[in-house]
Amino acid sequence: MNIWKKPLVASAMAVAAATAIAASNVPQAASAAQHADSPYIAANDGTPLYYKDWGPKTGQVVVFSHGWPLSSDSWEAQMLFLADKGFRVIAHDRRGHGRSGQTWANHHMDQYSDDLAAVLNALDVRDVTLVGFSTGGGEVTRYVGRHGTARVKKLVLVSAVTPIMVKTADNPNGVEIDVFDGLRKASIDNRAQLYKDLASGPFFGFNRPGAKASTGLIDTFWMQGMQASHKATFDSIKAFSETNFVDDLKRVNVPTLVIHGTDDQIVPIETSARATAKLVKGAKLIEYAGGPHGITDTHKDRLNQDLLEFISK
């Protein structure tokens, strides 16, 4: 992945801000989750899950699941766009990420999907379009496999980790386990540097010749990553890389859109989006030529329009 290259450039103010946000929200979450107007919902094991609910409450519902090691903030371009078009847009911070509770245990796809179910059930939303990015793509897919589509109208997978990332006997073209072991080692050694290197390199494609790096995108990726708990982000590496979603994809029975960049250096398109589209009956695949992994930002205008067109049909 070539992810350990550039020096860490971060201010003490940014560190303090990220730490303060996490510290100030989590202790209050358990009690706040008991109130109807709270931005928290309790998971089935009591973990407080922070969520956003934007746009008119009567609008068609779109629910977003974010990638690793980010938070619901990573969807702000899509949420702002669709809410302004009259949609009700909802996104939660995955357990251990963003402003949700930093529980020690249960950082795996089954629990992630159960947490998503807790959000949908608590808000009692129906005819939902589920949109998952990267790890979130696995989360929404496991939700369908585990909880069905009674509340789901459509499914969108963006740069998703489905059907399985790691190389196995059944997935010979997958990513070598050594890559994910390297991520784990880098996380233990200096995860702040790891997140800076990912953002300034392959995530947004800033390591490609002629690419113009955005300091803002690099910094917000780093800030979101550092807001998450080390335990959650470490355990999530196994969850997003080793979970097999083949059976879940075969259970999908709603219209499905798969979107992926052809130059995704994090989740290679050949064994992810192209394989996923073959497993979901009737799925539509849109490839962004030269697009990196983080197309929710680098190709946000095109993605917004593709989402709007698909959801509006």
Residue 254 · residue 148 · CB < 8 Å: no
Query: Which is the catalytic residue, given 71, 74, 134, 200?
Result: 134
> Phi and psi for 211 in degrees, rounded to 5?
-70, 140
Gyration radius of the chain's alpha carbons: 18
Measured at the alpha carbon of residue 75, what is the angle toward residues 70 and 80, in degrees to the nearest 5? 150
Among the options 53, 93, 264, 306, which is catalytic? 264
Q: Measuring CA to CA, how many Å separate 269 from each of 38, 134, 182, 275, 310?
A: 39, 12, 21, 8, 21
Whether 62 and 85 have beta carbons less than 8 Å apart is answered as no
Catalytic residue among 293, 297, 299, 306: 293
Total length of the chain: 313
299 is catalytic: no
CB 18 within 8 A of CB 10: no
Q: Which residues pair with 157 in a beta bridge?
A: 132, 258
Answer yes or no: 72 catalytic: no
| Residues noted as catalytic | 134, 264, 293
